Amino acid sequence: MPKIKYIEHSGKEHVVDVPEGWSVMEGAVKNMVPGIDADCGGACACATCHVIVDDAFIGKIPGKSDMEETMLDFAPEVTPNSRLSCQIKVTPELEGLIVRMPASQH
Amino acid sequence: MNIAVNAQQQAARDEAYALPLEKIDPANADRFQNDTIWPYFERLRREDPIHYTPDSAYGPYWSVTKWNDIMAVDTNHAVFSSSDGIVLATLESIIENEKIRGPRDKNAGGFISMDPPDHGPKRKTVTPAVAPDNLLRMAPQVRERAGLILDQLPIGQEFDWVDKVSKELTAMTLSTLFDFPFEDRRKLTYWSDMFTNQPGHGPAKSWAHKKEAADECFSAFNDLWNQRVNSDSGFDMISMMAHSPATRDMQAREYQGHVVLLIIGGNDTTRNTISGSVYALNKYPEQYAKLRANPGLITSMVSETIRWQTPLAHMRRLALQDFEIGGKTIKKGEKVAMWYVSGNRDEDIIENPNAYIIDRERPRQHLSFGFGIHRCVGNRVAELQLQIIWEEIMKRFPEIQVVREPTRTHSSFVKGYESLPVIIPKRN
């Protein structure tokens, strides 16, 4: 199971084993990692699972859909590495993935 | 609940299950005012979740009543357009509104009634006003105002919570978001009520009366625009629109559309949820006791109230092409109502959905803000006001008692309260 490191805005780190096929959002929510709200439950419809993907991994994740791009427009503090974590599927290539949480989800 | 209310609820239940399906018109505003909508939506969710009403005061329209179907429509903006308007309007009101404002044009309803690519840049113009860092700045002011409002309430004497608290706090916050003259703040509430009410309901006496209020509102906002456009960009929504490249050259008609949207969106919804929280905690006294024992539950109580109340009962779309859903075909050009109020009671998604439970496992799981590109832009400012007013209430009063059933709004869109009589027996 790939290990994913979630870093809260405060800097607090959580390392979690996330099964392949889950989304990065599910890996946080189902393991009680705070900082990801996921109000819509993973439908790419609310932008409350915003994370900033570490530079080293951004190239290993398939690109954003139009819907994700549009929904990310809603989120504050968006950076070029911003993604909706419900849209990132966990694969073996993402072993060691690091994602950072914004100050708040909107 | 008294015997008369029980009898009315039972009669509604009997009728809801006796009517032929095609006769069910869930947008009937009388039933929202009487609070007898529930068995109709319950039956539709069970027997006809994608429902067609061939004939009604709103003309023919579809109703989408279950969570997953609502989600499918709400997130498919390519098929389900907002540009025809987002409310089920009666045929009479469509004609009368055209008399008041001229033929409808696609920009007249504010950014909520736009599709991509028009929608995004205009919506983004005002989002900084309700973004987290601005809310952080606003919070101390909201808290101070909430405290002042609560400190002036009578003790041991009946008063209307809607008027004295819900309308006051939301009008103050909205006046700040617009940088609207503070002393005139209740005009915002009045205009909102005049826009949303049909003649004979709320303060609206006639179509001419509604036009008079609209003219007054647009003239005031025109003055604000002229004032802001000539000064440095401030941190209010009017300045943001007057200075943003996406909106600064818009026509008066479009500006008016944004104004109506922001007045109603920033006003009715939070107001009715504040009133709804007091009402629900009285209807479910064991939940009020839970909250008193643990004020840390305010955050989840707020979300649960937003679900339970569903302050906007529906949003409407127009199908741009034929679309199959739930075994039915919605035809191009047909109107579709997504009933958030029903999706929030969907037994397949939410456990024990009719109950008000302030410590639900996932209280943020509700449809009240909508999903997809039109999701409520002010959701966090709404939650902030509710959170703060309840933190301040708990500091001051052991209990707010609802004295009688509230008077509800006559609308299948704004699901709220005209008045809520309460007594505060004592201070802490």
Any idea where the domains of chain A sit in the sequence? 3-100
Per-residue model confidence as pLDDT tens digits over B226-248: 999 998 878 899 999 999 999 99
Domain harbouring B47, CATH code: 1.10.630.10
Instruction: Determine, for residues B375 and A103 on separate chains, whether the beta-carbon distance falls below 8 Å.
Output: no
Kindly state whether residue B129 falls inside one of the protein's structural domains: yes
Superfamily of domain A3-100: Beta-grasp domain (3.10.20.30)
Contact residues on chain B for A39, CB-CB shorter than 8 A:
364-365, 369
Burial of A19-47, coded b for 16+ CB within 10 Å and e otherwise, reads: eeebbbbbbbbeeebebbbbbbbbbbbbb
Check: CB of residue B313 under 8 Å from CB of residue B341.
yes
For residue A76, give the chain B residue with the closest CA: B131
Instruction: Give the bridge partners for B319, in sequence order.
Output: B80
Please answer whether residues B80 and B335 qualify as being in contact, where contact means their C-beta atoms are separated by less than 8 angstroms.
no
pLDDT at A77: 86
Distance CA B315, CA B326 (A): 19
SS3 category, B305: helix
Select from B68, B118, B373, B377 the residue whose CB has the most chain A CBs within 10 Å, as the one to mutate to test that interface: B373
Instruction: For residue B120, list chain A residues with Cβ-Cβ distance below 8 A.
Output: 70, 73
Mean of the per-residue pLDDT values of chain B: 95
Judge whether residue B2 has pLDDT over 70: no
**Interstrand relation of B61-64 and B335-339 (parallel, antiparallel or unpaired):** parallel
Angle at alpha carbon of residue B119, lines to A69 and B249, rounded to 5°: 125
Q: In this structure, what token pair is assigned to residue A67?
A: 């819907």
Whether residue B132 has a cis bond before it, omega within 30° of 0: no
Nearest-angstrom CA–CA distance, B257 and B86: 12
- HSE at residue B260, side-chain half, CA atoms within 13 A, is 26
The yes-or-no verdict on residue B1 having pLDDT over 60 is no
CA distance B126 to B177: 10
Please state at what angle helix B268-283 crosses helix B285-293, rounded to 10 degrees: 100
Q: Which residue in chain A has the smallest CA separation from B119?
A: A70
* Cα-based distances in Å from B41 to B25, B205, B341, B366: 10, 31, 9, 17
User: What domain range includes position B313?
Assistant: 3-423
Q: Residue B408's CB: how many other CB atoms inside 10 A?
A: 18
Tens of pLDDT along chain A (106 residues) come to: 999 999 999 999 999 999 999 999 999 999 999 999 999 999 999 999 999 999 999 999 999 999 999 899 888 889 999 999 999 999 999 999 999 999 988 8
C-alpha B411, offset from chain centre: 11
**CA gap B194, B192 in Å, rounded:** 5
What token pair was written down for A27? 């890996």
Q: Are B74 and B373 in contact (CB under 8 A)?
A: no
Alpha carbons B192 and B311: distance in angstroms, whole number? 14
Task: Return the minimum-mean-pLDDT range out of B8-12, B100-104, B163-167, B287-291.
Answer: B100-104
B365–A41 C-beta distance less than 8 A:
yes
Q: Say if CB B317 and CB B87 are below 8 A apart.
A: no
- Of the candidates B247, B5, B204, the one whose C-alpha atom is nearest the C-alpha of residue B110 is B247
Q: Considering chain B, what percentage of its residues have pLDDT values greater than 70?
A: 100
The answer to whether the Cβ–Cβ distance between B71 and A40 falls below 8 Å is: yes
Question: Per-residue pLDDT tens for B265-297?
Answer: 988 999 999 999 999 999 999 999 999 999 999
Interface of chain B against chain A, CB under 8 Å? Answer: 71, 74-75, 116, 120, 124, 127, 131-133, 364-365, 369, 371-373, 375, 379-380
Q: Above 80 in pLDDT, residue B106? A: no
Structure tokens given for A11? 């800097």
Note whether A46 contacts B116, CB cutoff 8 Å: no
Amino acid identity, position B183 = E
Query: What is the total count of domains within chain B?
Result: 1
Alpha helices in B89-166 (DSSP H): 91-101, 119-126, 132-151, 161
Using CB atoms, pick whichever of B124, B132, B371 lies closest to residue A46.
Answer: B371
ipTM: 0.91
Of A74, A76, A104, the CB nearest to B375: A74
Residues of B in contact with A26 (CB under 8 A): none
Model confidence, pTM: 0.95
What is the C-alpha to C-alpha distance for residues B92 and B97, in angstroms, rounded to an integer?
9
